[in-house]
Structure 1
Amino acid sequence: MTSEVATWQPAPQELGAAHMQALDRAAEAQDDALDVTEEDTTLLRELMAANLDQWQALIDATTSTTLAKWLRVVVLAEARLPGCERGAKSPAILMARTLRTRNAYPKELTAWIRSVSDNRFLPYGSLLDRL
C-alpha cells in the first residue's frame, strides 16, 4: 500500500484593474513607509503572489514611467508587508530588466532599492538565473 501526500496549489490570481489601481495609489503616495489601506494591502499581497508570467504580461503592457513607479511600490511591498517576500523570484527583477531593455532605468534607482530592501537579489536577480 502506498500513500501519497499532495500539496494544494491555489489557482493563480488573475491580475486586473483593481490590482493596477492599487499599484497606482501606492505610487502616488510616494511614501517609503508604504502606508496603504487594508484593501490595497490585500491587493498588493495578491500581486506579489502572482506568477512571473502574469507579471510579464502586465509589465509588457505598461509604460516605462509607470513601470518605474510600480517598481518602487513592489520593492517596498516586499520589504514592508509580511508575506510579500519573493527573493530571487521578485517581480521587481522583471521590472528592472524591462526598464534596462527600454533604456529607461533611472540611474538613482539601484541605490534607492538597496537603501530600502534587504533582498540581495534586487535589482538584478540571481546569478544562476542569468547564466
Structure 2
Amino acid sequence: MRHKSAHLPAVLVAAKQAHDVTYAGSVFERLQTVNAETRAILAEARAAETPMIALLAVARIEKQLELEAKLLGQLNESARVAVGVTIQSEDSPATAAVKNALSRATSAQLRDFGNLVQAMSGNIISANP
C-alpha cells in the first residue's frame, strides 16, 4: 500500500491539472489537452501498478473518444457530410461485455488494452488537428 500511496499524489495533481484546463481555444483543443492529461495518468497508474486507477483512466479515455466522435458527427452534419459513427448506449450488450471483460482483466491485459486505447486516441486526434 505504501508504494501506491507514493504515486497517488502525482495522479491527483495530474487530475487537478486536467480539471483546471483553461477555457481558451476550441472544444477540440481543450479535449486534446484533457486527453493528454488522462493518458499521462494512465501511464503513471501502469507504472505504479495501480490497476483501479488505470481502469478509471481507461474509462475516461473511452468517454473522451465517445465525446470526440459525437463532436465530429455534429461538425460533419453541419457540413452535410455523412460520417457513419454509431455510439452505443450505456446499457448496450457491447458495453456490458466490455465492462465485464475489463473487470476480469489481468495487469498485462490492461496494459495491452491501454496501449490500444492510446493508439486509437492518438490516431483520432492526429487525424483531426
* The two structures share one fold, judged by TM-score above 0.5: no
Q: TM-score, normalised by structure 1?
A: 0.31
Q: Which has the higher helix share?
A: 2
Q: TM-score, normalised by structure 2?
A: 0.31
